[in-house]
């Protein structure tokens, strides 16, 4: 297949370029394609003539978006719509990446695709508007909500915690925000599987399970430094975050697609930690025994 990947310089975009290497992949970072430029979008889609457009481009600085709402909506909503329009006109299918931050986090349990979106932040509102515009312009598009991405490329929570741990502890990490950490490699592989199927519509795609930022940080450092819990109020970030935006899918397996591994084993694989993988297997074994 011929695939156009936008946002190809980001952490998911670069992962997609590698995972989809068996196809003819055309990557465009923000320098190669400004998706807020409608004419540029149309020109690139007409030149590439893709069978799939995968939009991994986003304005994802959650805190800065509070003061840059115009830019956030230009990229996350209007830009996404331009891509959807151009893809539909060219007869290309589309995958658009969205976020768990479309939810307010007040449900108290994981969100499925059947739950109502109610974003708290400018970033979340811009991403939700992008979902709506993509689905309007390209009714057969796949919209994938994912969460707490980390991987080899770009900046992310895992890299930040590891760097902070190198400087020594204790680390203070928010304990009252829960989500679904997701390895970009697994997400990219899931997208590679998705585009081989006729599936369409909205999907939640994240590594299984959920944890708080505090629990995630403890798993990352694995006892090397002390991690202390703090509240979101203590952290005093400019943008509000959902208290519990963990994701589950009511549609992914129903479409015949493989669920992603649990977040603990994904993290261990990402870190290349054989000892940690063994610990996870032992804990999983104990859970199985307890269930019998």
For residue 232, which phi and psi values (nearest 5 degrees)?
-60, -35
Catalytic residue among 82, 101, 111, 123: 123
> Is 82 annotated in the active site?
no
Report the DSSP beta bridge partners of residue 143.
96, 202
User: Which residue has tokens 């940690």?
Assistant: 276
Dist. CA 269–CA 239, nearest whole Å: 31
Is-contact 236 178, C-beta < 8 A?
Answer: no
Q: What is the DSSP string of 224-235?
A: SS-EEEE-HHHH
Report the alpha-carbon distance of residue 131 to residue 148 in Å, rounded: 18
Pairing outcome for strands 211-212 and 178-179: antiparallel
Residues identified as active-site: 123
């Amino acid at each position: 297949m011929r695939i156009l990947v936008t946002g190809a310089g980001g952490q998911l975009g670069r992962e997609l370029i590698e995972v989809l290497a068996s196809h003819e992949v055309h990557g465009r970072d923000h320098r190669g394609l400004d998706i807020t430029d409608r004419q540029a979008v149309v020109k690139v889609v007409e030149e590439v003539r893709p069978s799939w457009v995968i939009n991994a481009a986003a304005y994802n600085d959650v805190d800065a978006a509070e003061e840059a709402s115009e830019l956030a909506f230009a990229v996350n909503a209007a830009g996404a719509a331009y891509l959807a329009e151009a893809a539909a006109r060219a007869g290309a299918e589309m995958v658009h990446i969205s976020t768990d931050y479309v939810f307010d986090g007040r449900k108290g349990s994981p969100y499925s695709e059947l739950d109502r979106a109610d974003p708290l932040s400018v970033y979340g509102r811009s991403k939700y508007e992008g979902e709506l515009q993509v689905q309007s312009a390209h009714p057969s598009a796949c919209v994938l909500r994912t969460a707490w991405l980390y991987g080899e490329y770009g900046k992310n929570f895992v890299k930040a915690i590891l760097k902070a741990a190198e400087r020594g502890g204790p680390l203070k990490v928010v304990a009252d925000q829960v989500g679904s950490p997701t390895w970009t490699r697994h997400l990219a592989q899931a997208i590679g599987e998705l585009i081989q199927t006729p599936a369409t519509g909205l999907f939640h795609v994240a590594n299984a399970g959920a944890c708080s930022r505090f629990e995630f940080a403890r798993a990352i450092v694995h006892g090397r430094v002390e991690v202390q819990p703090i509240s979101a109020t203590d952290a005093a970030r400019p943008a509000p975050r959902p208290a519990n935006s963990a994701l589950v899918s009511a549609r992914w397996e129903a479409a015949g697609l493989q669920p992603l591994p649990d977040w603990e084993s994904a993290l261990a694989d990402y870190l290349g930690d054989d000892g940690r993988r063994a610990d996870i297997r032992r804990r999983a074994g104990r859970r199985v025994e307890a269930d019998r």
